[in-house]
Structure 1
Amino acid sequence: MDKRIPVTLLTGFLGSGKTTLLNKLLHDPAMKDTAVIINELGDAGLDQIFANSNLAENIENEHIDDNTVLLSSGCLCCTLKNELADTMRDLFFKRALQAIPEFKRLIIETTGMADPGPILGNLMNEPVIESTYRLDAVVVTIDAVYGLQQITDNIEALKQVAVADVLLITKTDLATVEQINELKEKLITINLGATQHRVLNGELDPQFVIDVGLFDIATKQAEPQRWLRAPLKTATPKGTLPQKAHDDEIVSFTVFMPKPLNWRDLKPVILNLCQIHGKNLLRLKGIIHAEDQPAPLAIHAVHFTPYPPTLLEGWDEDEPISRIVIIGKGIDELTIRKTLMQV
């Protein structure tokens, strides 16, 4: 069991309902051991954020310092003042010194125009961050009315959908059935592996967005198949060669690796793949059954940065199959497949 603090990256395009969702989640008893970093309103303080929410009359809070508030629900909230890594380190050290409650998970709310890839990549490069936090899931909100147009017109919105583990369709009360169904189909074509949930007035069961990654907190067991969320089908018809995508086209595919396989041989290939294709490599996830490892490995990379692999002790498959999911923008699928299959 990985004992690092799980991190949920909550993002979504401007006006898609992230803050409304977050306010409702903070009021849920299931979230009591959660710390939240809010990076949506610039220099606005937490009091202003909550004053503009429908939780205003229900919140009792205690200021721990000028940018950190402990809510009566047990959630710890802070606004982002410096670099994200600095804020995460500060929270962890305060937690270790018992200056703040011992939170069990962290949610990071990003700005609406944020590309989640560089955020994830930067965190992976920070030794203290990597040793104390682990990514649980990328959760993305999409406006049921305007989401389809936003995905079409804005590359940031498209990337957010492409790398998501969980897609939340918001403001469903304002959209027609046809709009919702068309959006759902579009999301499936972009990211077949992500789970989809509807959100009405910000109401959502926390179990859909927290502890949904590599480890199940309740059972303390690895759930790599759930985390991998490999596409159930390939977009390439059987018998045809993969084609190079257009520059702004998002593609997702799974590479099933040959047997036998050794991590010492695959690791430099993954590193090289990240260096060559990093600019357009939005996300890489895989489960590797390597003969030179005592247990299967979960591997993960974003852009140029591979994340240290996680040893899945105590977990295995009846039919061990190594597979890697690639999500990228304008990448040459055939070239990447050839690179990986040369191991």
Structure 2
Amino acid sequence: MSGHFSALLRAEAPHHGPRVPVSVLTGFLGSGKTTWLNRLLASPDLSGTAVIVNEFGETGLDHDLLTAAAPDDVVLLPNGCLCCAVRGDLVQALGALMDRPGQAIQRVVIETSGLAEPGPILRTLLLDPLLSPRYRLGTVFCTVDAVLGQSSLAQHPEALAQLAAADEVLLTKLDLIADPAQTAPLRDCLAQLNPSATVRALGPDGVDLLRQRLLAPGPDLAPAPGPAFYHPLAAPPTGPSHLADVQSFVLWRDEPLDLDGFAQWLDLVVAAQGEKLLRFKGLVQTVQTPEQPLVVHAMQHLFHPPAYLPAWPTADHRTRLVFIARGLDREALESTLDVMARRRRPRRPT
């Protein structure tokens, strides 16, 4: 049976008109999501932005705190986890926003609960047949408390899942730190756990920075080039920690890989080890199109549609596969990839 990634490779790209970008704002409890979102929505050029707030508990409050947004532009989804039980509500809310009369929605921001893992949201946006023709995934932002962020990551797996899903990591509450150098250990931790994310400090110009990111076309799914993209995980903090078995590593290949063979290998990895994958990104040089890198991007069992870049971003054309995982056997991955590469290597004429 063909795997998910193989099926995506064979699927023809759908022909749709412009789709509305949906950005996701995640972050652990108390990291400042609502505060910064409220400031952001006051920007005049962000009119036409709808907000979906997902809160934990029976009574939501954060949606009432978004004073900068028009009441009709804010939708509350209760029961914080955005799991299967409320995924239908998310589909319904996005459908209602698109179909409502009046000013057309230009973009959507989903603010998750501080206890929510973003995976179900991303799966819904990418896979739901009613949403995918009308919406596309924008940037995934993750707010991290500059004071308590490192302890949250060490103690709460939800915080780690939020960080792993992020394209942009936003450091908040910097005004509570006397010396900016005190954030160095946290920055190192963030870079080690999600080396593909951009870390930005939300200082006095934070609103302008966020506004620019929301107005931008979308995130670049290509990993940063070069060896600097690899950061071995440092020793975890002392005491109980969920970081102890988290790895961040890169598999490199100098020779182009056969596309079908790579797809089958990736299908097997995700089928057998998908629950251990927090995040996976890669630039792949294939035998079929060596001058155009294939961008692959997945979280657990969920793949973004693969896409080709028009050209390599640098002179380095090596394949690089970046894993953020919990308890994944790197040596087994490398050995099985080696076996696939040898079996699929083009035969030289005799």
How many residue pairs were aligned?
A: 306
User: Aligned ranges for residues 92-171 of structure 1 at < 5 Å?
Assistant: 92=95, 94-95=97-98, 97=99, 99=101, 101-171=103-173
User: Which segment is superposed worse, 284-293 or 187-196?
Assistant: 284-293
Structure 2 residue corresponding to 1:252, chosen from 248, 272, 292: 248
Q: How far 1:111 moved relative to its partner?
A: 0.8
Deviation per residue, 1:36-72 (Å, 9 max, x gap): 2110265557xx646545x4xx66x3xxxxxxx34xx
Q: How far 1:94 moved relative to its partner?
A: 4.9
Amino acid aligned to 1:15:
G
Q: Which residue of 2 aligns with 1:190?
A: 193
Q: How far 1:288 moved relative to its partner?
A: 2.8
Question: What stretches of structure 1 of length at least 5 have no aligned partner?
Answer: 62-68, 71-75, 238-245
Question: What stretches of structure 2 of length at least 5 have no aligned partner?
Answer: 1-14, 79-84, 234-241, 342-350
Q: Percent identity?
A: 32
Given the superposition, is the C-alpha separation of residues 179 and 223 from structure 1 closer, same or farther in structure 2, using an over 3 Å criterion?
closer
Amino acid aligned to 1:5:
V
SS in 2 for 1:99: coil
Structure 2 residue corresponding to 1:14, chosen from 17, 29, 37: 29
Amino acid aligned to 1:23:
N
Given the superposition, is the C-alpha separation of residues 171 and 334 from structure 1 closer, same or farther in structure 2, using an over 3 Å criterion?
same
Q: How far 1:29 moved relative to its partner?
A: 2.6
Q: Which residue of 2 aligns with 1:242?
A: none
Between the aligned partners of 1:107 and 1:168, the Cα distance in structure 2 is 15
Q: How far 1:141 moved relative to its partner?
A: 0.8
Structure 2 residue corresponding to 1:310, chosen from 307, 310, 315: 307
SS in 1 for 2:328: coil
Give yes or no for contact 2:153–2:243 (8 Å, CA) kept in 1.
no
User: Aligned ranges for residues 1-343 of structure 1 at < 5 Å?
Assistant: 3-40=18-55, 42=57, 44=59, 49=62, 51-52=64-65, 55=67, 61=70, 69-70=71-72, 76-80=73-77, 83-84=86-87, 86-88=89-91, 90-92=93-95, 94-95=97-98, 97=99, 99=101, 101-177=103-179, 179-200=182-203, 203-205=206-208, 206-207=210-211, 209-210=213-214, 216=217, 223-225=220-222, 228-229=223-224, 232-235=228-231, 248-292=244-288, 296-312=293-309, 314-317=310-313, 319=315, 320-341=317-338, 342-343=340-341
Given the superposition, is the C-alpha separation of residues 262 and 99 from structure 1 closer, same or farther in structure 2, using an over 3 Å criterion?
farther
Give yes or no for contact 2:167–2:196 (8 Å, CA) kept in 1.
yes
Given the superposition, is the C-alpha separation of residues 151 and 128 from structure 1 closer, same or farther in structure 2, using an over 3 Å criterion?
same
Q: Which residue of 2 aligns with 1:240?
A: none
Q: How far 1:295 moved relative to its partner?
A: 5.1
Q: How far 1:28 moved relative to its partner?
A: 1.4
Amino acid aligned to 1:11:
T
SS in 2 for 1:264: helix
Higher share in strand: 1
Query: Under a length normalisation based on structure 2, what TM-score does the superposition of the two structures give?
Result: 0.74
Give yes or no for contact 2:165–2:299 (8 Å, CA) kept in 1.
no
Give yes or no for contact 1:192–1:232 (8 Å, CA) kept in 2.
no
After the TM superposition, which parts of structure 1 deviate over 6 Å for at least 4 consecutive aligned residues?
Answer: none
Between the aligned partners of 2:221 and 2:325, the Cα distance in structure 1 is 21
Given the superposition, is the C-alpha separation of residues 162 and 306 from structure 1 closer, same or farther in structure 2, using an over 3 Å criterion?
closer
Deviation per residue, 1:178-225 (Å, 9 max, x gap): 54233223222322332222224894322564366xxx46xxxx9454
Query: Under a length normalisation based on structure 1, what TM-score does the superposition of the two structures give?
Result: 0.75
SS in 2 for 1:139: strand
SS in 1 for 2:94: helix
Please give the root-mean-square deviation of Cα atoms over the aligned residues, in Å: 3.4
User: Which segment is superposed worse, 258-267 or 108-117?
Assistant: 258-267
User: Which segment is superposed worse, 314-323 or 35-44?
Assistant: 314-323
Give yes or no for contact 1:121–1:304 (8 Å, CA) kept in 2.
no
Give yes or no for contact 1:145–1:175 (8 Å, CA) kept in 2.
yes
Give yes or no for contact 1:138–1:164 (8 Å, CA) kept in 2.
yes
Given the superposition, is the C-alpha separation of residues 98 and 315 from structure 1 closer, same or farther in structure 2, using an over 3 Å criterion?
farther
Q: How far 1:325 moved relative to its partner?
A: 1.6
